[in-house]
Amino acid sequence: MHLTIGWLYARTMNIYGDRGNIVTLVERCRRRGIAVDVLEIGVGDPLEPGRCDLFFWGGGQDREQIAAARDLAGPKGETLRAEIERGVPLLAVCGGYQLLGHFYRPHGGPELPGLGLFDAWTIAGSRRMIGNIVVDSDEFGELVGFENHSGQTFLGLSARPLGRVRIGWGNNGRDGSEGCRYRHAIGTYLHGPLLPKNPRLADYLIARALELHGWSGELPPLDDTLADRAHAEAVRRAEDQRRRFAWHRLLRLR
Ligand SMILES: NC(=O)CC[C@H](N)C(=O)O
């Protein structure tokens, strides 16, 4: 079996360690004997239907998002939408996630059109939402990561969140939701990188990609001792952050 991972805007939207998601996907395939290659798809590059079995789109600053939004405004965006509709899995983090909603309205800049894949929209707020985050997902259990965004994402009536925020800000710091899902596409604010500490999510994406080639069943398990240890440490850090934040608020109230 051979998989191709389409890495959207790899050279321009790849902040806060998001490259680690690609490394994790490749490594978890190779340890199972699945041949895999990575195809970088940047601004102006073609996106051929059926070429990729999985997409990843990392985070980026507003400036890079402007170029990416423009690049996806035409037939390329329609091809990406069709790929998701045919069941190709996708993981989009932060800036990539924001551009898969209806629009992203940055500070002071023009509103950027999104693909409208997720029934969601994003408006830059006055505060940056930064810190360790823990999310509870029905399908993937406890997810850990790091977030750094000013964009506040709001979900429409047909949107399905990735999970509920236990510690941190999430989509907008108000409604307790984090991320969004549509078919096998997942948008999230969890940088970190996300997948090394959340192997169940990585394996979900790999399994959906294999299913495009007629595979079915369970992936052979891997030794996730290190991932589990890093995951538990991330939860401890987030809990410590919550305690410090609570003390800080208490002291400010005096
Ligand atoms: N971390 C990111 O990808 C940032 C996305 C967007 N520019 C924001 O600040 O919300």
pLDDT single digits (tens) 129-188: 999 999 999 999 999 999 999 999 999 999 999 999 999 999 999 999 999 999 999 999
User: Which residue has 């596409």 as its token pair?
Assistant: 185
Determine if ligand 1 sits within 6 Å of the CB of residue 148.
yes
- Is the CB of 149 inside a 6 Å radius of any atom of ligand 1? yes
Is 127 annotated as a binding-site member? no
CB of 58 closer than 6 angstroms to any ligand 1 atom: no
Over residues 6-18, mean pLDDT: 94
Q: Which two tokens stand for residue 205?
A: 């994406």
Determine the average pLDDT of the residues in 34-56: 98
- Any ligand 1 atom below 6 A from CB of 145: no
Using DSSP's 3-state secondary structure scheme, residue 71 falls into helix
For residue 164, the model assigns a pLDDT of 98
pLDDT of residue 247 exceeding 90, the answer is: no
- Options 52, 180, 184, 191, the catalytic residue: 191
Contact yes or no for 76/57 (Cβ under 8 A): no
Rounded to an integer, the average pLDDT of 110-114 is: 96
Q: Superfamily assignment of 2-252 in CATH?
A: Class I glutamine amidotransferase (GATase) domain (3.40.50.880)
Q: Is it the case that residue 78 has pLDDT exceeding 90?
A: yes
Nearest CA to ligand 1 atom 5: 95
The answer to whether residues 107 and 83 touch, using CB atoms and an 8 Å cutoff, is: no
Give the pLDDT band of residue 241 (cuts 50, 70, 90): very high
Per-residue pLDDT band for 254 (boundaries 50, 70, 90) equals: low
To the query of whether residue 29 is one of the catalytic residues in this protein, the response is no
150 Cβ inside 6 Å of ligand 1 = yes
Average pLDDT over residues 39-56: 98
- Token digits for 1? 């079996």
Helix (H, G, I), strand (E, B) or coil at 86: coil
Q: Exposed, middle or buried by CB within 10 Å (0-12, 13-18, 19+), for 54?
A: buried
H or E segment to which residue 199 belongs: helix 199-211
> What is residue 40's predicted lDDT score, i.e. its pLDDT?
98
> Which pLDDT tens digit goes with each residue over 185-237?
999 999 999 999 999 999 999 999 999 999 999 999 999 999 999 999 999 99
Task: Name the active-site residue from 52, 94, 180, 231.
Answer: 94
Distance CA 113, CA 160 (A): 21
Point out the ligand 1 atom lying closest to the alpha carbon of residue 148: 1
CA distance 47 to 249: 48
Encoded tokens for 68? 């990416």
Q: How far apart are the first and last CA of the chain?
A: 62
Mutating to test ligand 1, I would choose from 148, 190, 194 the residue with most ligand atoms within 8 A of its C-beta, which is: 148
Q: In what order do the strands lie in the sheet with 35-41?
A: 35-41, 2-8, 54-57, 90-93, 185-188, 180-182
CA neighbor of 144 nearest in space, from 90, 197, 181, 188: 197
The pLDDT mean for the chain works out to 97
| Cα–Cα distance, 191 to 125 (Å, whole number) | 19
- Taking the centre of ligand 1 as the mean of its atom positions, its distance from the CA of residue 98, in whole angstroms, is 8
For the chain, the structural domain boundaries read 2-252
Tokens 């996806």 label which residue?
A: 72
**Helix locations, 139-198, DSSP H:** 194-197
The overall pTM is greater than 0.90:
yes
Whether 180 is catalytic: no
Pocket flag, ligand 1, residue 4 (CB < 6 Å): no
